[in-house]
Amino acid sequence: MKSGSIGTDTDHAIEVLRNGGVIGFPTETVYGLAADASNSVAVNRIFDIKGRPRNHPLIVHLPSLVEARLWSADWSTSAEILAALFWPGPLTVIVTKALTVNHEVTGGLETIALRVPNHAVALEVLRGLECGVAAPSANKFGKVSPTTAEHVLNDLGSEVDYILDGGPCSIGLESTIVDCSANIIQILRPGGISRELVSQVVPVAEQMTGPSRAPGMLDSHYAPTCRLTVVADVNEAQALLATQAVTQQV
């Protein structure tokens, strides 16, 4: 298959990853730009393709909680509680990294971001590959995150070796990131799991303190390129749409 092609062949996706390639990778949140997390050369390609600063950590996707624990030198109680409740799902936990984890994945930090996605195709690849997959959003750095395979193709094209089509993302919003590496538990990025749900099971700091250790924190990740108008109620919205329709016909 040629670079940048879209397909549904999970065996081919696994082969590409094993050979050090980079693929578009479907999850329930957004499409990721995936590489074998243990392969430093492949991980560096992620940064090159995205144009992402190398001090920005990546989320490592894993097939199970059991596998995730192996990536941490100090798997905290809070991480265990949250992972047991919300995995597989749109929650990322930050924990102290294992000594075997390469520094490219963590952006040079002593912590690592881990997640088990709730997506059948993603889990099939992860189980077949039998290793962690580093996968930030599959878009150029600072751009809106993709929620379909076509979005990945439009933004990255032939720069990726393969785009695995798992259908539209069911959530379409990045995962919630919770820092479980210290005594004070912090939500570093809001996402698919609400603060209210997290705070029901572990104590969460009211606001973030200290430097961020989380991936994907740019406001532009969530910013549309078109102009938006905020309206107060449904009637106002309908009137605005009607006005625009008339204007376009003139």
Segment 124-143, tens digit of pLDDT: 999 999 999 999 999 999 99
Quick check: 239 pLDDT over 90? no
Task: Please tell me the predicted confidence (pLDDT) of residue 237.
Answer: 57
Task: Please tell me the predicted confidence (pLDDT) of residue 218.
Answer: 52
Quick check: 211 pLDDT over 70? no
Q: Where are the domains of the chain?
A: 6-249
CB 211: neighbour CB atoms within 10 A?
A: 6
pTM for the model stands at 0.85
Task: Enter the tokens of residue 205.
Answer: 């700091």
CATH of 6-249, one of 3.30.9.10, 1.10.287.3510, 3.90.870.10, 3.10.20.30: 3.90.870.10
Sequence-separated (6 or more) residues with CB below 8 Å from residue 131: 36, 37, 38
Burial 103-141 (b: 16+ CB within 10 A, else e): ebbbbebebbbbbbbbbebbbbbbeebeebbbbbbbbeb
Residue tagged 């199970």 (tokens): 64
Task: Please tell me the predicted confidence (pLDDT) of residue 250.
Answer: 46
Q: Is 24 helix (H, G, I), strand (E, B) or coil?
A: strand
Strands (E), the chain: 6-7, 23-25, 32-36, 59-61, 72-74, 91-97, 111-115, 133-134, 162-164, 176-179, 186-189
Q: Is 222 helix (H, G, I), strand (E, B) or coil?
A: helix
Quick check: 216 pLDDT over 60? no
pLDDT band at 3; cut points 50, 70, 90: confident
Output the CA angle 132-135-141, nearest 5 degrees: 155
Instruction: Supply the mean pLDDT for the chain.
Output: 90
Whose CA is closest to 203, among 82, 69, 59? 82
- Considering only residues 95 and 239, tell me which one the structure prediction assigns the higher pLDDT: 95
Task: Please tell me the predicted confidence (pLDDT) of residue 171.
Answer: 98
- For residue 115, which phi and psi values (nearest 5 degrees)? -155, 150
Quick check: 221 pLDDT over 50? no
Quick check: 235 pLDDT over 90? no
Quick check: 77 pLDDT over 70? yes
Quick check: 224 pLDDT over 90? no
Task: Enter the tokens of residue 155.
Answer: 């933004």
Query: Which region among 82-96, 202-216, 224-238 has the lowest average model confidence (pLDDT)?
Result: 224-238
Quick check: 20 pLDDT over 60? yes
- Considering only residues 219 and 205, tell me which one the structure prediction assigns the higher pLDDT: 205
End-to-end CA distance of the chain: 47
Report the share of the chain in percent with pLDDT over 90.
80
Summarised one tens digit per residue, pLDDT across range 156-180 is: 999 999 999 999 999 999 999 999 9
